[in-house]
Structure 1
Amino acid sequence: VFNMVDESLIKNTIKANEVTPQTARRLVDHLKSAEEAGADAILVTCSSIGPAVEAAQQFLNIPVIRVDVPLADKAIGIGSRIGVVATLPTTLKPTVELIEARAKLAGQEIEVVSTLCEGAFQAVAAGDTETHDRLVTAGIRALMAKVDVIVLAQASMARAANAIPEDERTVPILSSPQLAVDATQAVIRKL
């Protein structure tokens, strides 16, 4: 197990408000480097660059797991009204699109209701986790009455969700980290 981090991928995506060809190429370079270093499988943990992860698979001979695919699959297995909470528009759009695509693939009719927690990402980037968590928690609570399940579009939001007591959760609140690790382990076991 080894880890590669390149914060320029998310920074460039946020700046351009989309995954640019340059960012996608850089991602492919990193994935090829990991493959050449001996990786058996790769888990990419940034939801904002998810579409580039899927496109990059064609250039690799090992499985590449998009962090939010197991999350999307679990959500569509729970209900047809799916809430998506995000702190970045660059994560919200690809997460909603992924859930819709996975539902279509599964032959399921769904409705996605999304919320962007304005200012939360900027707060956490400035070190203000309290404001981030308050904004995310408010976004989650606002969606609870409207949906069957809530998807946190970014792994970093899980801490905020944990602030909502179990007895106040009227729907399941899903986060990607453990689901993605479990899916990656399943892929590796099959190799």
Structure 2
Amino acid sequence: MDSRRITVIHATEASMAPVTDAFDRNWSEAELTHILDDGLSRDRQRQPQLTDDLRRRIHRLAAYAADCGAEAVLFACSAFGDAIEAAARQMAIPVLKPNEAMFRAALDCGDELALLVTFEPAGPAMAAEFGELANRAQPSARLTTVYVPGALDALRRGDESKHNSLIAAAAGRVSGADAIMLGQFSMACANADCESAASVPVFTSPDAAVGQLRSLLHGN
């Protein structure tokens, strides 16, 4: 039985169900644990850049997961890429950012990609991460980032239907893209609506991240 203990660290409660569903679909044998610091997203939103305090907080969360027996850590928060990379360099276990696997899958579709986000600070952070990857793997790639206002607030109020419809409407307005990426784990519930609204492939991060993590721990 493949019962590796994996800890997922969240900055919002809304990302917990999508990542749990992704593990159920792709790696149900894993022993999944969650850590939620729902102040992270609020504190990040107040800061134009990642602060030293936020960087230390990300590292402490990863270290706590390791102390509790995690064999790998997956961050489900998209606005902390640099801090997650710094934490990973100091840890003896794998520590993964949420979106690299999704980026790679979308790049296989072509050079023109669109990224939808519902948490505004995630946009620049993810665009920078994408740019670093594309410069190495596919320099001709170009990214358009679209912020979808109101969607995350709707989800936090429990109005998933409104959340999904706002994102799907934004996906339907995208033109000239070879693929669309939904930038946060919490957006995965809008995938079906986006696929109906868009004429190009739509990618979400939870399934791609779980697949990457499983391959990493199995050495293939």
Same topology, TM > 0.5: yes
Give the deviation of 1:155 after TM superposition: 1.5
Matched with 2:187 is 157
Partner letter of residue 91 of structure 2? L
Check if 1:174 corresponds to 2:203.
Answer: yes
Return the alpha-carbon distance in structure 2 between the equivalents of residues 169 and 60 of structure 1: 40
Tell me the SS of whatever aligns to 2:139.
coil
Larger helix percent = 1
Matched with 1:43 is 74
Alignment check: 8 A CA contact 2:171 2:194 kept: no
Return the alpha-carbon distance in structure 1 between the equivalents of residues 57 and 127 of structure 2: 24
Gapped regions of structure 1 (runs ≥ 5): none
Structure 2 vs 1, CA of residues 180 and 115 (structure 1 numbering), >3 Å: closer, same or farther? same
Return the alpha-carbon distance in structure 2 between the equivalents of residues 59 and 154 of structure 1: 25
1:76-127 per-residue CA deviation (whole Å, 9 max, x = no partner) reads 2221001000112111111111111111111431111121111212222222
- Give the % identical residues: 25
Structure 2 vs 1, CA of residues 42 and 165 (structure 1 numbering), >3 Å: closer, same or farther? closer
Runs of 4+ with >6 A deviation: none
Matched with 1:141 is 172
Alignment check: 8 A CA contact 2:107 2:138 kept: no
Tell me the SS of whatever aligns to 2:140.
coil
Partner letter of residue 139 of structure 2? Q
Give the deviation of 1:178 after TM superposition: 0.6
Return the alpha-carbon distance in structure 1 between the equivalents of residues 136 and 189 of structure 2: 31
Structure 2 vs 1, CA of residues 165 and 49 (structure 1 numbering), >3 Å: closer, same or farther? closer
Tell me the SS of whatever aligns to 1:82.
strand
Matched with 1:183 is 212
| TM-score scaled by length of structure 2 | 0.80
Return the alpha-carbon distance in structure 2 between the equivalents of residues 77 and 18 of structure 1: 31
Alignment check: 8 A CA contact 1:72 1:98 kept: no
Alignment check: 8 A CA contact 2:115 2:145 kept: yes
Larger strand percent = 2
Alignment check: 8 A CA contact 1:17 1:89 kept: no
Equivalent pairs counted in the alignment come to 189
Matched with 2:98 is 67
Alignment check: 8 A CA contact 2:165 2:193 kept: no
Tell me the SS of whatever aligns to 1:47.
coil
Give the deviation of 1:165 after TM superposition: 5.3
Tell me the SS of whatever aligns to 1:16.
coil
Return the alpha-carbon distance in structure 2 between the equivalents of residues 107 and 84 of structure 1: 16
Return the alpha-carbon distance in structure 2 between the equivalents of residues 169 and 85 of structure 1: 12
